[in-house]
Structure formats: C-alpha cells, structure tokens
Chains A and B, each alone.
Chain A
Amino acid sequence: MKVAAADWFLLSPELFLTAAGLLILSISVFVEKAKEEFLAFLALLATAITIGLVAFLSGYHGRSEPILGGMFVLDNFAVFFKLLMLISIALTILASIQFVGRAAYPAGEYYALLLFTGVGMLFMVSGNNLVSIYVALELMALSSYILAGYFKGEIKSTEAALKYFVLGAFSSGVLLYGLSLVYGVAGRMGLPELAKLFETQEKSNLLIVGILLILAGLLFKIAAVPFHVWTPDVYEGSPTPVTAFFSVGPKLAAYAILARIFYVAFPKFHSDWGLIVALVSAATMVFGNLAALLQTNVKRMLAYSSIAHAGYALMGVLGFRTEFGLWGILVYLLAYAFMNFGVFALVVFLETKGYAAESVSDFNGLAKRNMTAAVVMLVFLLSLAGIPPTAGFIGKYYLFTSAMKAGYAWLAVLAVLMSAVSLFYYFRIAAAMFFSEGEGVPLKSSYALTAAVLICATATIVIGVAPQPFVEMLRACVIKAP
C-alpha cells in the first residue's frame, strides 16, 4: 500500500496530539510538583493547536479522499466529533488544574494520558474500517482505564479502574468477537466495502450474530442497559474531572462509531437492529431515571442520569431513512457534551472546596455562598431535564422528532414522561442549592474552572436560544444512509 503525503497531512491532528502527549510525558520528569500548572498549560496549548488543525483541515478541499487506503475518512461527521471531543478535553484540562494540583500524584502522566485518550478518540471517529476502529477504541480505552485509577492510593479510584478495565476488556472482547464473525462472513473489513457486499448477499444467521455482538460491545461503551453496571462505580470512584470527561468524551466517540458502523456498513439490516436499539433505548431511559431517583450520592445520581441520557440519545440512531437520519443525535450530543460536562465541573468545584460531593446536601445553600455557581448549575440541570430555552430542550426536541418520524411514537411518549421524572431528581440538587440553609462562607472558584464552567453555560444557553447556526451546521454533518 502506497502512503501518500496527503494522508499524513490529513492525519496531522492525531499525529500532533500524540507527539504533544509524548513530549509532556518526557518533560514532566523535570518539572517540580509546584510548577505542574505549566504542564496543564502545555496540554491545553496542544489541544488548542489540534483544534486549529482540525478546523483548518475542515476547509481543505482534498479531505474527502480516503486516508491510508480507506482506513480512515475525514468527513464532516468526523470533523464535528473531533472538534467536540477536543473541546471536551480542553474543558477537562481546565477543570483538572486545581483538582490535580491539590492531589499528591504527578500531573504529567495525567495530562499525557488525557491526550492519548484524545488521540484514540480522534482516530475512532475517523475510522472507516473495522480494524482501525477497533485499534483506536482500544487506545482510548486503555488510556482511560489508567485515568480512572489515577488516584492510585485511594481504594475507590483503584476499584473504579479495575472494574472499568475488567468490564471494558470484556466488552471489547465481545466487540472483537462480533467483528471477527462479520469478517468471517464477509471476508473484508472496510465499512463501505461491507455495505457493497451486503447489497447483493443474503443475510446469514452468523452475520446477524456478529452484528448483534458488535452492537452489544458498543452499548457497553455508551453504558446502555443492560450493559451499564460499570458506570455508577466507575463514575463514583474516578477523580471527578475524569468522571466529567468519561461522561462526555469517550461516550461521544462510542456514539460516533455506533452510528458510523451501523449507518455505513449495515444499513440493509436496519430492521434487525432498529427494534433492538429502540428496546434498549426504552429500557435504558426507564432504568437510568428510576435508579437515579433512589440515589443520594451526587456522582452516582449523575452517573445514572447519564445512563438515562444514553437511552434518549439512542432514539437519535433510529431516524434511519427519514429526513432526520443522524441529525437528531448530533444536535443532542452537542447539547449533551456541554450540559453534562458543566454539571460535573460544578461537582469538581465543590470537591476543590473540601466537600466530598458525596451527598446532595453538599449543595445546601450554595445560592448563598456563590450565587453564580448556583445559577449556572441550575441552567445545566434545566438543560438536562430538557426545559426550554436551553440546549437540552433543543437536543431532546430533535430526538423526540426523530423517534416520532421513525415510527416509534411509543418510545417518544416514554421519553417525554421519563424526562418529567428526571426533573424530580435534578431538582433535588436545585432545591438543596436554593432552599436549604448552608454555612454562609462564600466559595470562590479558580479561574480555570470558572472558565470551563462558563464556557459550558454559555454554550448551553446560546444553543438553546439561537440554535439555528448550530443545527444548520450539523445538518451538513450527518452520514447519509444509502
């Protein structure tokens, strides 16, 4: 296979980010603990440059060519996900500076691992071949297992890492098994080639089993019921900025490859996987919301909430062969990335102020101690519950329309009722912030964290109030089903 120079050019964001990660790892040896903020700054700079590279490439006319012989593509879909994931990495770095600075563990590895996870995700969303997707997924997953256990002295963190690793490796195995079955039937790995083959070929049971195993493996990654059990423990045990990142970045990547594999390679069998996705979506939103109702620990509650949101998001995959297609899920994920990260960032804020952020009562009286933080948190909660005029409402609106359009009216009814249920637990936090008395000490946030939170809040409100430019941009990013 001949590798053209253009290929390297199109892969420059990934290559640059890898180099930056290695650089940070190697110079971290020489940086004292007190000056670790410098590493964070480097990581942030690297992320910003990568964002610039992706943005530059998005305007490059030659990017529609397949990269490395069709291993990767750089379509609008990939560009959107890359930008959004890089933004989530930048936000994670901002939210981590004070948090990691206070901990007794070296920060160099932390930021380097974060960037390596990013590299994996960037490759993933570009992947156009089962092998390249799988390898990229493993790169992302292995780095994130270590991130989960980054507070290695703490039992909860270690437990989270171990759980994440065991279940993650298991799900990767399931995925890989599915891939191997598909390969066994089809004898090829490229997604477009698979689609072309299936156009003429009848489906076999072996192939259906393979597709279902791939689906199961991916549902593990997005924490859909019944493959969600790892989520609450991992989210609770991981360092909170990492949790914030897990709830957004790797999930986005998993949704992206789920959408790409099933829209590009298996469009012919959508009647087989469509109903399963709808049922999983229903089970996920019901279970996630009901379980969240019972939680008193904030991180676990938000973990179940993000399970519930995985259920909503799956509705966006159903709009197959309607005029909506993947539009709904893209709009939703854009909203989700900011609002969900924002919520976790505020948990990080409380933790840096010495609260364990274990129970809802840590939020007691936050309105009196830091009105801005309380109002911003309220915006995120409203958005998560889907109340207009926030990004969450626009996102959910698109999902409901996709589900209705795709003929799953029952799912849409279930989803709207479940979002009413979700308000109940989201507003336990709101009630704690505004109605309960807390200690009257004002809480101040660090600049970096404030920046991260305000970026999320601004995005949440702007997308909610003026969604037009965003939704129009995302319409151009969907993968057209053949």
Chain B
Amino acid sequence: MQLMGVGIPILSVITYIPLLGALAIVFFLPKEKTGAIKSIATLVAVVDFVVSLPLWFLFERGKDGYQFVERASWIPSLGVDYHFGIDGISLLLILLTTLMGVIAVVCSYTAIGERQKEYYVLLLLLQTFMIGTFCALDLFLFYVFWEVMLVPMYFLIGVWGSDRRLYAAIKFFLYTLAGSVLMLLGIIALYFYNTTGFLGYKGLGSSPTFSIEKLTAVAAAMPAELQIWLFFAFFFGFAIKVPMFPFHTWLPDAHTEAPTAGSVILAAVLLKMGTYGFVRFSLPMFPDAINTPWVRGIVVTLAIVGIVYGAMVTLVQKDMKRLIAYSSVSHLGFVMLGVFALNMAGLQGGILQMVNHGISTGALFLLVGMAYERRHTRMISEYGGLARQMPIYATYFLVMALSSMGLPLLNGFIGEFAILQGAFAVSFWWAFFAATGIVLGAAYLLWLYQRVFFGEITNPANAGLADLTGREQLTLVPLVVVALWIGLYPRPMFDVLRRPAEKIVEAVGGKTLPNPALAREPAPAAGTPREAAAP
C-alpha cells in the first residue's frame, strides 16, 4: 500500500500490531496493573481494527489475483518465502477477525478475574496468528501460522475454561494437530511434485517454491489419482477444523469449556480456517479429485449429515453454550454444502455464510456469556422469563437468534438463500436436506428463546438480574449493525467475493452461473424460494 509515496506493508502491520501489543504488555506492565493491561489490550485491538479498515476501501473489486502483496525470501534453501497478500475472501475474513478481536477483548473485562496479564497476552497473540493465516500466500508460512495458532487457544481454554477444561483443551489440540500434520505431508508431496518428484511420480523439475499461486497451478495439472490422495491429506486438516461430521466431537467440548471470548473467537474465526482452507486450497488445487463423483459424494454427504445431525443434536441440548456449539456443526455443514456446489451462488453464499456465522454465532456466545456472568450457570432449565427482567438483553438475543436461523432482512438469510440456490442447481435433494436443516434451526433457536425468555420468572435467582451494561451493549451493537447491513444490502460483500469466486469456480470446472442472490437485476425466481427457504 502506498501512503504519501511510501510503501507500507499494511498486511504485516495489521498482523503484527497485536503481537507487538502482547510483547509490550509482557515486558512493560506488571501483572498487578490489570486496569492498564486491559486498556492497552483494548487499544491495540481497536488500533488493529482501524488499521484494517482501509483494506476495505482500497481493495480493488474487479481485479484478479492478490492485492497488497508483500514478498521477501525467508528460507531460500527450501524455497520458502515470506509472502502475504489478500483477495476478496481473505479480506472479509481479516476484517471479521479484527472486529472480533476488539469484541473478544472488551467482553472479557469482568468475565476474566484471574491471571489477566497472561490472558490478554494470549488473546493478542492468537489475533496475530489468525490474521497471518488469512494473509499467507506461501504454504509453508500458512502452515506455520495455522499450527502455532493452536497454542494460545489451548491455553485460553485450559486456564480460563470451566470444569472440564483440561480435557477439552487437549482434545481440541490433539484433534486439530492430527489433521494438520497430515496436511503437512500433503504440502511436502506437492512440493516434491513441483521439484524432483517422489514415490515414482516424476517431478516437474521447477525450482523449489511454496507459493500458493504457483503450487495451485501445479496441483491442478496433476494426475487425478495423485490429486485424490493429496485432496484427502488436506481434507483431514480442514475437515477437522471446520468441523465436519464425524470429526466434530472436539467442538462442543472446546466451545462449552472455553471462556466467552474463547468461544467467540473459536466460532467466529477459528472454524472459518477450515472452510477457508477448502476454498483457498482444496477447490482450486484438486479439481479432478473434487469432480470425481465418489470424492465429492463423500464430502457432500458428510456436509448434509452434519447439517441434519448437527441440528437434531442441537435440539436436545440442555446447556445453552453446548446448544450453540452444536448449531455451529449444522451451520458449517451449510457452508460446506455451498462450497461444494461448485457454482457461483453456492460458493459466494458459502463464503458469506462463513462471515455470517461468525457474526451470529459469535454474538450468541457473547450473549450466553453475559447470562453466565450473572447466574454462573448455562443450563436452560435454570432460566425462564428473562424477557421481563432483562428486556434489552432479550432484544439483542432475539435479533441474533433470528439472524442465526436465517430470517429475511438479516444476514443469515442472504447466505443460506444463496447456498440453497447453489445446492438446488446441482440437486433437488441437496437443497431439500439443507432446507430441513433450516427448519430444525428455527425450531431449536425459537425453542431455546421460548424457554429462556418467555413465561413467568419461576426461578427466584433470576428475579434480580441486571440488564446489559453499556459496555456489554457496545460489544453487541457492531455485530447487530453488520448483521443488518449484510441482510439489507449484501451487494458490497458479493462484489468483493465475485472475482475470487469466479476464478475458483472456473478452476474447478463448475458453471459460473450468475448468482441470483446478487440482485444485479431483479431476479424473477427470488420471490418463491424465499418463503420456501425460510419458514
């Protein structure tokens, strides 16, 4: 980025501001000064968010390829570069990350009582690693960020989590690590295929590189059989992170045990790493593998099972946090279905739904955390009639629940609608099963809302609960604003996503049908499925 004639590596700046903030706290603030630590952490997160905003305005929508590119040699012996750059997909996810970073810090002021210094340091470190993952254009660099990210999250869950935190933390770490080391082998195989060959495959003899652009082209031209092997090597890494059924079992534990900010970050950003991986790597790299019917069949089946099974398990949850955690399995199943529809509507919808899920589910975790701070329980049965006692809280909860279930005018609708469009274009049954997921989604959220907020206050412990404070509302307002913005006027989002999505769909050999949800011209079909899709 040019600023007054000087080139500024803005992506690195955004990535490392939180790291510098964390180091400043480590070295200059004693742990007793909790007030100062909170202020600095907030300041750093806000600055990071503000610095990331120009990306949205300076990003050139119609342009192909990556923007704001930074490149320097890092390990020349291996061909590893320090290579940053973003396209529309990473742009949205980075903005989501920096926004959620602020919210995660602010929502922790009162929730975190002990070892505050370590807490904020870890939160800021996590922020750096997450942004770095989205910026990296070098597979090696990507892998480094992808993996090191697990460490702060492990500690956030393990130290500040609730009762079964140790179990949840190590389960989270082991699951995701097991997946990502297989991905590492896939990366190594790709590297050798590009250079000297391996296991009987003749290499291309190119100079060693980990450049994602270069390796994507190389991978897409590989024999289909090798593509399938590598697709599955990457698949485990991403599918565990998403998480797709049946690799999802770490998620309810991690979410439930994590402190509120941990759950928010986990839901809003960390889960997106998996779907981002599919979109950035699996689709353009392994088109032949994906177009192999059984491979795509497996992935789509798992996605649909995730949607329906996730929603059904969500219905029976007694713990609010666990309920929302399981709803993530269902929602991410949607994203995967959209992505693997391999058409514009599905892909754009899937990517947008990643953002939407971050906002809605992130907000719901925040809201549950607020209730937990007041009552120190997450059991639904402990609540009831909160609407009378905490009307503001009830309103926010309603908006976010509606957004999560995909009500028109709110963000969730746009994403789900586009995904259904995309799925329908491929198969009626895909759309059918996905639609049942939406119905079940409405059921579990409305039922949850009814049990927690309606009726008389039966539990005397709920009688004296204070409504939301100004600070708490401050964390929710931006999410509501974004939810409404995407719900009412999603076009800027689709504009940003169009070029990258077109490229990916072209790469994977799908049809670049215009996306009806884009509403460039009034789409005639938009009227009927709207009612059908969002009961």
- Of B155, B182, B200, which is within 8 A of A413 by CB? B182
| A404-B198 CB under 8 A given contacts A416-B181, A417-B181, A424-B174 | yes
Which of B77, B143, B154 counts the most A-chain CB atoms under 10 A from its CB? B77
Taking a contact as CB atoms under 8 Å apart, the answer to whether B199 and A387 are in contact is no
Task: Name B154's closest neighbour in chain A (CB-CB).
Answer: A427
Taking a contact as CB atoms under 8 Å apart, the answer to whether A420 and B170 are in contact is no
**Interface residue tally of chain B, by bracket?**
35 or more
- Could you list 16 further interchain pairs (A-B, Cβ under 8 angstroms) beyond the known A387-B151, A416-B184? A388-B148, A397-B188, A400-B185, A400-B188, A405-B198, A409-B185, A412-B188, A413-B182, A416-B181, A417-B182, A420-B174, A420-B177, A420-B178, A427-B173, A435-B166, A468-B74
> For B173, what are the chain A residues with a Cβ–Cβ distance below 8 Å?
423, 427
> For B77, what are the chain A residues with a Cβ–Cβ distance below 8 Å?
467-468, 471-472, 475
- Report if A442 contacts B (CB, 8 A): no
> For A389, what are the chain B residues with a Cβ–Cβ distance below 8 Å?
144, 148
> For A407, what are the chain B residues with a Cβ–Cβ distance below 8 Å?
198-200
Q: Interface code B379-407, partner A: CB below 8 Å = 1, 0 otherwise?
A: 00000000000000000000000000000
Could you tell me the distance in whole angstroms from the C-beta of A392 to the nearest C-beta in chain B? 12
- Report if A401 contacts B (CB, 8 A): yes
> For A472, what are the chain B residues with a Cβ–Cβ distance below 8 Å?
76-77
Taking a contact as CB atoms under 8 Å apart, the answer to whether A382 and B184 are in contact is no
- Report if A419 contacts B (CB, 8 A): yes
Taking a contact as CB atoms under 8 Å apart, the answer to whether A435 and B174 are in contact is no
Which secondary structure dominates chain A's binding surface? helix
- Report if B532 contacts A (CB, 8 A): no
Closest 5 pairs (CB-CB, A-B): A416-B181, A388-B144, A420-B178, A420-B177, A471-B77
- Of A323, A413, A420, which is within 8 A of B196 by CB? A323
> For B181, what are the chain A residues with a Cβ–Cβ distance below 8 Å?
386, 416-417, 419-420
- Report if B434 contacts A (CB, 8 A): no
Q: Interface code B158-181, partner A: CB below 8 Å = 1, 0 otherwise?
A: 110000011001100110011001
Whole-angstrom distance between the alpha carbons of A382 and B192 in the complex? 27
- Report if A431 contacts B (CB, 8 A): yes
Taking a contact as CB atoms under 8 Å apart, the answer to whether B174 and A400 are in contact is no
Taking a contact as CB atoms under 8 Å apart, the answer to whether B170 and A382 are in contact is no
- Report if B506 contacts A (CB, 8 A): no
> For B118, what are the chain A residues with a Cβ–Cβ distance below 8 Å?
367
**A–B pairs, 30, beta carbons within 8 Å:** A323-B196, A387-B147, A387-B148, A393-B147, A400-B184, A404-B188, A404-B199, A405-B192, A405-B196, A409-B185, A412-B185, A413-B182, A416-B184, A417-B182, A420-B174, A420-B177, A424-B170, A424-B174, A427-B173, A431-B158, A434-B159, A435-B158, A435-B159, A435-B165, A435-B166, A467-B75, A468-B75, A468-B77, A471-B75, A475-B77
Whole-angstrom distance between the alpha carbons of A382 and B189 in the complex? 24
Whole-angstrom distance between the alpha carbons of A403 and B77 in the complex? 18
Whole-angstrom distance between the alpha carbons of A402 and B326 in the complex? 41
- Report if B78 contacts A (CB, 8 A): yes
Could you tell me the distance in whole angstroms from the C-beta of B60 to the nearest C-beta in chain A? 32
> For B144, what are the chain A residues with a Cβ–Cβ distance below 8 Å?
388-389, 393
Task: Name B155's closest neighbour in chain A (CB-CB).
Answer: A434
Task: Name A412's closest neighbour in chain B (CB-CB).
Answer: B185
- Report if B150 contacts A (CB, 8 A): yes
> For A471, what are the chain B residues with a Cβ–Cβ distance below 8 Å?
75, 77-78
How many chain A residues touch B (CB < 8 A): the figure is 33
> For A401, what are the chain B residues with a Cβ–Cβ distance below 8 Å?
188, 191-192
Task: Name B146's closest neighbour in chain A (CB-CB).
Answer: A388
Could you tell me the distance in whole angstroms from the C-beta of A405 to the nearest C-beta in chain B? 6
Taking a contact as CB atoms under 8 Å apart, the answer to whether B199 and A409 are in contact is yes
> For B200, what are the chain A residues with a Cβ–Cβ distance below 8 Å?
407
Whole-angstrom distance between the alpha carbons of A468 and B81 in the complex? 11
Whole-angstrom distance between the alpha carbons of A409 and B198 in the complex? 9
Whole-angstrom distance between the alpha carbons of A389 and B75 in the complex? 13
Whole-angstrom distance between the alpha carbons of A471 and B75 in the complex? 9
> For B75, what are the chain A residues with a Cβ–Cβ distance below 8 Å?
467-468, 471
| A423-B177 CB under 8 A given contacts A388-B147, A389-B148 | yes
Whole-angstrom distance between the alpha carbons of A420 and B183 in the complex? 13
Could you tell me the distance in whole angstroms from the C-beta of B163 to the nearest C-beta in chain A? 12
Task: Name B143's closest neighbour in chain A (CB-CB).
Answer: A388
Whole-angstrom distance between the alpha carbons of A468 and B72 in the complex? 13
Whole-angstrom distance between the alpha carbons of A405 and B78 in the complex? 14
Could you tell me the distance in whole angstroms from the C-beta of A182 to the nearest C-beta in chain B? 33
Could you tell me the distance in whole angstroms from the C-beta of A360 to the nearest C-beta in chain B? 13
Task: Name A390's closest neighbour in chain B (CB-CB).
Answer: B148
Whole-angstrom distance between the alpha carbons of A427 and B188 in the complex? 26
Q: Interface code A395-439, partner B: CB below 8 Å = 1, 0 otherwise?
A: 001001100110101001100110110011001000100110000
Could you tell me the distance in whole angstroms from the C-beta of A367 to the nearest C-beta in chain B? 8
> For A412, what are the chain B residues with a Cβ–Cβ distance below 8 Å?
185, 188
Whole-angstrom distance between the alpha carbons of A164 and B191 in the complex? 44
Taking a contact as CB atoms under 8 Å apart, the answer to whether B148 and A416 are in contact is no
| A417-B166 CB under 8 A given contacts A388-B143, A388-B148, A401-B188 | no
Task: Name B175's closest neighbour in chain A (CB-CB).
Answer: A420
Whole-angstrom distance between the alpha carbons of A409 and B178 in the complex? 17
| A382-B178 CB under 8 A given contacts A389-B144, A407-B199, A472-B77 | no
Task: Name A467's closest neighbour in chain B (CB-CB).
Answer: B75
